[in-house]
Structure 1
Amino acid sequence: MGDEGAMSRRWYGRVWSNARFVVAHLALNLQAAMEYRASFISQIVGMMLNDAIWIFFWFVFFARFKVVKGWEFSDVIMLWAVLTVAYGIATGIFGNALRLSKIIAEGGLDFFLGLPRDVLLSVLVARLNISALGDLLFGLILFVFAGTLTLGGVALFFLVCILAGSVIVSWFVLVNSLAFFMGSSENLSMQMLNALLSFATYPFPIFSGPVRFLLFTLIPAAFIGYVPVMILKGANWWFILGLTAFAVGLGLFARFVFLWGLRRYESGNLVIVRV
């Protein structure tokens, strides 16, 4: 019992330490970004306008076709609320998730290998994706207009957004880690990332057969769009358990692949600590 208690305390201590590390980096990145206030605001507003154009497209579409395979305009609004908040959390806080392939290919991990913190966490939080904050704000606005504004409804919304965001980060880490094994894989990684996000923005019932299977496996778009929306619409707890299990499993697998590649990187590259 004593050993188990000590292990539990160490685990919680590590989680708390990493959480403070992430928050500290977020604060520093925000402070640095806001030094160029005009650029900061323009990137956020620009992304919100981009998202609004897509919502207008769906508004026009559903004005003509009221229901598509059981989905209405309100369902698409909720889909976009989840996606934009999840993406905003994922790439806003962990901004280097989008650039990981390039960082690996250019030897940019050398600096992070000299730090006392976890390499993957350190590289992910080292950069803030400002435009993703526009996605985050836009999604919150959509939820205010279309969501269930009760304590339970808000808590459930943020839960599914955090889980979906975790899937996005893990997927980005996984596909970008191909650079460890393929060299310059930036184009392939971007295609895979765009495929995930593109499929997720459409009503899931329009897909069938092999495509639907693909979106639950190789390109897990269903877990960042369809499944969260079904949870918010009142689906049973199996959906929540399934989303949680998938988010945790994908996260562990992505970390395993990254660390596997990192061992190849360390053995084949000169490590230079830049102070």
Structure 2
Amino acid sequence: MTTLGLYIALMSAGLKGELQYRLNFVIWVAMGVIYQLTGFVFIWVLLSRFQELAGWSLGEVAFLYGLRLLGHGLQLLGFGYIHMLEIYVREGLFDRFLVRPVPVLLHIIVSRFPVGAIGDFGSGLVLFLVANSLVAVDWSPPALAFASLTVIGAALLEAGLKLMVASLSFRFLSTRSIVFVVDDVFNNFGNYPLKIFGGVAQFVLTFGIPVAFIAYLPATVLLGRTSELAVSPVLAYLAPLAGAMVFGLALLVWRHELPSYQSAGH
């Protein structure tokens, strides 16, 4: 069986296992929806008073927000348990992944089905579709392809950054604070047009922690707002590639750091 086939089989089995506890399943999905939409309610209240945010209308901000949530939700669905690596290493549970006939990283990713991610992705999809009715986007085949690649690229970028941080657990054991910082940056800055931040912040959020590639840069392409960018519009059109590059780099970091692991019995 190929790695992809194994991944699909294990995730399907995990989903079936979670569905055995239907009330718990519904609660987790609902929690994901409530958590994500609460953030947008804040923006809606803000824009109801001021009408626009850095020149962006409510519909445009909702479009950006929904695009970001789609990528985030897909990342959680596909790679939701990468952050558990630190716990497995610190508590001496990582050894069990080394002795099973499944690729180690794949086994960690599919160790449990991330039920709450369904709520994240679903709320992002609903918000994106509603926002689409409020903005003028020409959904030509190239635009549809670009949007689809953007969501996939966003998922890979976020997963790649988390995998890089998680891989450091083999050396430093505790990386939780770094994971929280990465999550906070994505949650606090990824849902807004970067124009509202200063030049230094825009630079850091583009080339430091590349939040801009998640939704803002692609949204400017789809909404026809690339003229406002402080960087070359070429970067906006190439934004989906950033995810593949970051995830590829993360795999190299993972392979480099894995030999540093020392079993709890040594």
What is the match of residue 229 of structure 2?
A: none
Do residues 25 (structure 1) and 10 (structure 2) align? Answer: yes
**Pairwise CA distance, 1:227:** 1.7
**Pairwise CA distance, 1:22:** 2.0
What is the match of residue 43 of structure 2?
A: 58
CA contact (8 A) 2:152 2:240 kept: no
Do residues 138 (structure 1) and 123 (structure 2) align? Answer: yes
Q: 1 CA distance for matches of 2:71 and 2:185?
A: 16
What is the match of residue 36 of structure 1?
A: 21
Q: Which residue among 66, 90, 99 is the counterpart of 2:75?
A: 90
Do residues 269 (structure 1) and 263 (structure 2) align? Answer: yes
Q: Which residue among 234, 240, 243 is the counterpart of 1:238?
A: 234
1:230-275 Cα offsets, whole Å, 9 max, x none, are: 232245983465323321221121111111111111xx22689xxx
What is the match of residue 154 of structure 2?
A: 164
CA contact (8 A) 1:199 1:221 kept: yes
Q: Which residue among 92, 96, 101 is the counterpart of 1:107?
A: 92
What is the DSSP-based 3-state SS (H/G/I as helix, E as strand, rest coil) of the residue aligned with 2:21? helix
Q: Which aligned runs of 4 or more in structure 1 are off by greater than 6 angstroms?
A: none
CA contact (8 A) 1:200 1:226 kept: yes
RMSD of the alignment, in Å?
A: 2.5
Gaps of 5+ in 2: 227-231
What is the DSSP-based 3-state SS (H/G/I as helix, E as strand, rest coil) of the residue aligned with 2:20? helix
Assess, with a 3 A threshold, how the Cα gap between structure 1 residues 67 and 270 changes in structure 2: closer, same or farther.
closer
What is the DSSP-based 3-state SS (H/G/I as helix, E as strand, rest coil) of the residue aligned with 1:129? coil
Q: 1 CA distance for matches of 2:128 and 2:251?
A: 32
**Pairwise CA distance, 1:115:** 3.1
Assess, with a 3 A threshold, how the Cα gap between structure 1 residues 19 and 188 changes in structure 2: closer, same or farther.
same
**Pairwise CA distance, 1:228:** 2.5
Assess, with a 3 A threshold, how the Cα gap between structure 1 residues 116 and 259 changes in structure 2: closer, same or farther.
same
Q: 2 CA distance for matches of 1:271 and 1:228?
A: 48
**Pairwise CA distance, 1:108:** 2.9
CA contact (8 A) 2:221 2:237 kept: no
Moved more, 50-59 or 71-80: 50-59
Task: Provide TM-score, normalisation by structure 1.
Answer: 0.83
**Aligned amino acid, residue 234 of structure 2:** W
What is the match of residue 125 of structure 1?
A: 110
- Aligned identity (percent) is 26
Q: 2 CA distance for matches of 1:156 and 1:242?
A: 9
Q: 2 CA distance for matches of 1:220 and 1:107?
A: 33
Assess, with a 3 A threshold, how the Cα gap between structure 1 residues 218 and 125 changes in structure 2: closer, same or farther.
farther
**Aligned amino acid, residue 206 of structure 1:** I
Assess, with a 3 A threshold, how the Cα gap between structure 1 residues 64 and 256 changes in structure 2: closer, same or farther.
same
Assess, with a 3 A threshold, how the Cα gap between structure 1 residues 75 and 103 changes in structure 2: closer, same or farther.
farther
**Aligned amino acid, residue 174 of structure 1:** M
Gaps of 5+ in 1: 1-15
Do residues 206 (structure 1) and 201 (structure 2) align? Answer: no
**Pairwise CA distance, 1:126:** 2.1
